[in-house]
Amino acid sequence: MNSKRFFKLFCMIFLIVGVVLIVVGIVSQISTSKFLKTAIKADAKITNIITSRDIDGDLNHDVYVSFVVDGKVYEGRLSEYSSKMYIGGSTTIYYNPDNPNNFIGSGGKLLGYIFITFGLVFTSIAIFIMYRFAKKNREKFRLQEEGICLPSKITSIHKDLSFTFNGKSPDVIECSCEYNGKIYTFTSEHIWSDTKSICERKNITELEVLVDPEDFSKYYVNIEPLKHYIGN
């Protein structure tokens, strides 16, 4: 898988997750706002806080509260936790006057906004990456039309350890050529495959590089000869 397919998948996942979070947040906030219109504010006593660890070792806190409505005691678990909470302390809740067992904490008022915020973050990341990728593609097409083609010898194939996804790093190809008495070095886009093995088996020792004749820092290493072998 090369960087094009990888980032398409990456953006699609982030975009879907972002949209889902935004929708869930909007629905949640509408429901919460409707609930709060008739809910009654009250102080509840914290009766217990049970702390446990999940499989990742993170701490979870289950907060249990009790409060009195018309002389009757209601108990239940609060779906939020704050480091300021302690057993015997108090916290603000909002309950349904027709069914006091249905209640939320003060933090519940913000739950929808939290989902929406995370959704916007995920969506923004996806849109930003898609924009950068589209810009890169436009530059590639421009170089195909206006650039010069330089056959360049492959000098190195290695992992880009500065970028890791799911415990793996992509390959990059470095190649160089001489042009007008100068040696130029170029680096390919990320390639999610065993590129070195492919080049050795298929005896690929040279790649074409499309270069802006006015600015050699603007270039594209053409990996088309490898695409058949890297899943494209």
Q: pLDDT per residue over 155-191, tens digit each?
A: 999 999 988 877 888 899 999 999 999 999 999 988 8
Say what percent of the chain tops pLDDT 90.
61
Query: Distance (Å, rounded) from C-alpha 216 to C-alpha 203?
Result: 27
Q: Report yes or no: 153 and 141 within 8 Å, Cβ to Cβ.
A: no
Q: pLDDT per residue over 59-90, tens digit each?
A: 889 999 999 999 999 999 998 888 899 999 99
Domain range summary for the chain, segments of one domain joined by + = 3-114, 147-227
| pTM score | 0.63
47-74 burial by CB neighbour count: b if 16+ within 10 A, else e?
eebeeeeeeeeeeeeebbbebeeeeeeb
Q: pLDDT per residue over 31-46, tens digit each?
A: 999 999 999 999 999 9
